[in-house]
A and B are shown apart, each in its own frame.
Chain A
Amino acid sequence: MRRAPSHSYPGLNLGEDHASAHKFTEVVTFGFWVFLMSDLVYFGLMFAIYITMIDAQAGGPGPHELFDLKSIFAQTLILLTSSLTVGLAMLALKYNLPRGRIVLWFGVTLILGLSFLVLEIRDFMAMAEKGGIPQRSGFLSAFYGLVPLHGLHVAAGCLWLVVLGIQLRVMGLTDLIMSRVVRLALFWHFLDLIWIGIITIVYFGGLSYG
């Protein structure tokens, strides 16, 4: 299936230092891309529903009353930075830096991921206080179908970080663990891509057309 043996993934790969892990990783990484893309289609459906529901506010609170752009801005910066730190963890692994370095970047990513979730949950609570609950209107149902779905993905990513961190400690840098780190990095970058869609369509789109 693949031609070039050692550099098929120019960046998200394990490179020539980990030839056997790399070969294994190539196949499963492609499989993981397939998973990510089907996940993307699922998100796409939720986006489509949201777009058609922007007007369906049924007299309930709309985007202007509910959205707090300052908090969204903070969440955006946090998630973007965590995308960088997970990439740096990947590089630490690829270039055989001390294992502590990988754990350090994992830790920073985890803290950023958790802070993102805290801010997001605070937003939801503030929205609920203003009457913005899922059953209030079609618009809010669509909102709560989409944004917390992304939050759930971030929470799953955080759990994955913890589990992988423990596995890294216990099992060491085996081929399997290394290829899992590659997939986690991929997953995390993917979450940031979805978030760009959310700020553009859900928040700014909602404020422009809602």
Chain B
Amino acid sequence: MDRRTELHRRERRRYVIGYGGSLLLTLAVFSIAYIYGIQRPGVFFSIGLLGLVQLVVQLVYFLHIDRRRSSREDLDLILFSTLVLLIIIGGTVWILGNLAMRMHMHAM
């Protein structure tokens, strides 16, 4: 019973840490946008970076994906899907961006 309560507390803390972390990152993103203005160079880059960090925080603390052997199959699946995504998104943006450039449309 005692061990269970302890485990419960530990898992709940995990969720709260994930929530707190995500909250801080969200606040950071919006305050950066608010203070510096969204069109300053470098601002979108930092927002994107913070978004990426938040994705990882939520994957680890909410979805419990880590490098432990036991959740490897999930991690493999996520990594493979990410690869597919990068190919799809990267490929689309590259090809259509190139097309836009050659057609002298607005610069991408």
Contacts and interface: CB of A to CB of B under 8 A. Distances in A.
Contacts of A10: 64, 66, 68, 70-71
B11 A91 contact: yes
Q: What is the size category of the interface that chain B forms with chain A?
A: 35 or more
Interface string B67-108: 011110110011011001100110011001100100001111
Given A17-B4, A41-B84, A205-B44, 6 more contacts: A33-B74, A40-B81, A52-B92, A55-B106, A84-B19, A192-B62
Nearest to B93: A51
A84 B59 contact: no
Interface string A33-66: 1100110110011011101100100000000000
Nearest to B32: A204
Q: What is the size category of the interface that chain A forms with chain B?
A: 35 or more
Nearest to B78: A37
Given A7-B70, A34-B77, A91-B8, A196 B55 contact: yes
A37 B81 contact: yes
B73 A30 contact: yes
A22 B84 CA distance: 31
Contacts of A2: 70, 73
Interface of A: 1-4, 7-12, 15, 17, 30, 33-34, 37-38, 40-41, 44-45, 47-49, 51-52, 55, 69, 73, 76-77, 80-81, 83-84, 87-88, 91, 94-95, 186, 189-190, 192-193, 196-197, 199-200, 204-205, 207-209
B88 A87 contact: no
B28 to A, nearest CB: 12
19 contacts: A3-B69, A3-B70, A4-B70, A8-B71, A10-B66, A11-B63, A15-B7, A44-B85, A48-B88, A48-B92, A55-B107, A69-B30, A77-B26, A84-B19, A87-B15, A204-B29, A204-B47, A207-B38, A208-B39
Given A69-B33, A80-B23, A207-B38, A189 B62 contact: yes
Contacts of A69: 30, 33-34
A87 B34 CA distance: 31
B22 A80 contact: yes
B107 to A, nearest CB: 8
Contacts of A37: 77-78, 80-81
Contact of A197 (B18, B29, B43, B51): B51
A10 B65 CA distance: 8
Given A8-B70, A80-B23, A193 B97 contact: no
